[in-house]
């Protein structure tokens, strides 16, 4: 059974993995045996990230390229295949969010969010999958969101992109399953990261809302994503395709507590 989850000898490319949840998932894949290829677009962040991986005893290779630029993606994927080895696992994690009310959002901002959060996963998947098709094997994981299912104030572009990413996941799974490529998604809930640290304090309205809204009664720990990432990257998920696994502590399973319920 352990062999089903062993990633030894596998090469995993994780976009936007110089920090946050992308780094947490990448480290989980590395600890399961995968050789890590980390994408980012900032040299300073990449240097710091590679130091963090090394401190955890993980060897990671860094590649700087813009995931929205098809030519850069094509060139770097070819380079990774030649320098590191065949990419067996792709995690499309890179993303942005702009919290702007729809009535106030410029079209350029809306398009930028869709470009990074939806078009880029298509571009990267396409160029990686070309090699996977030849080898008749591959795992692609798109990082979706609870906003793939739900709306919220000020995130119209993000929700549109993540909803689209859910359906892109299902469609790529439909097209590529015949080549033994599994395309699935992970939908994280609310996680304890450096970005959320200022609001994760007792008494803060949003902190209290998340704790009450989540059946598990807490924020997610980045390491909570590791098991799902390893599972969807491993042989254990060879007959799972086009699915989105929500790692959210149960938020999407419930309508939530009434305001007067303790």
| Rg of the chain in Å (alpha carbons) | 18
Distance of CA 29 to CAs 7, 70, 89, 132, 250, Å? 7, 26, 10, 19, 24
Residue 208 backbone class (left: φ over 0; alpha: ψ -120 to 50; beta: rest): alpha
Residue 235 and residue 3: Cα distance in Å, rounded?
8
Distance of CA 230 to CAs 5, 137, 235, Å? 7, 16, 10
Residue 136 and residue 129: Cα distance in Å, rounded?
10
Residue 69 and residue 127: Cα distance in Å, rounded?
12
Residue 218 and residue 187: Cα distance in Å, rounded?
17
Residue 31 and residue 28: Cα distance in Å, rounded?
5
Candidates 53, 63, 127, 158; catalytic one: 158
158 is catalytic: yes
Q: Strand, coil or helix: what is 94?
A: coil
Residue 156 and residue 178: Cα distance in Å, rounded?
34
Q: Strand, coil or helix: what is 219?
A: coil
User: Which residue carries 């160029």 as its tokens?
Assistant: 127
Residue 251 and residue 32: Cα distance in Å, rounded?
28
List the catalytic residues: 158
């Amino acid at each position: 059974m352990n062999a089903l989850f062993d990633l030894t000898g596998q090469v995993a490319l994780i976009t936007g993995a110089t920090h946050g949840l992308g780094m947490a998932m990448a480290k989980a894949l590395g600890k399961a045996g995968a050789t890590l290829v980390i994408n980012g677009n900032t040299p300073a962040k990449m240097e710091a990230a590679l130091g963090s991986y090394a401190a955890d005893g993980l060897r990671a290779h860094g590649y700087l390229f813009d995931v929205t630029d098809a030519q850069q993606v094509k060139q770097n994927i070819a380079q990774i295949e030649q320098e590191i080895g065949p990419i067996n696992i792709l995690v499309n994690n890179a993303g942005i969010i702009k919290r702007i009310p729809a009535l106030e959002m410029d079209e350029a901002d809306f398009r930028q969010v869709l470009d990074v959060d939806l078009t880029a996963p298509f571009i990267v998947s396409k160029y990686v999958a070309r090699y996977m098709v030849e080898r008749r094997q591959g795992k692609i994981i798109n990082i979706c969101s609870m906003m793939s299912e739900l709306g919220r104030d000020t995130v119209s572009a993000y929700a549109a992109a993540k909803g689209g990413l859910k359906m892109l996941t299902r469609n790529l799974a439909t097209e590529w399953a015949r080549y033994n490529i599994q395309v699935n998604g992970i939908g994280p809930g609310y996680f304890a990261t450096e970005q959320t640290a200022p609001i994760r304090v007792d008494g803060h309205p949003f902190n209290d809302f998340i704790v009450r809204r989540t059946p598990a009664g807490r924020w997610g720990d980045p390491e909570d994503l590791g098991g799902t990432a390893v599972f969807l990257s491993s042989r254990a998920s060879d007959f799972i395709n086009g699915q989105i696994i929500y790692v959210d502590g149960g938020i999407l399973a419930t309508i939530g507590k009434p305001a007067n319920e303790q």
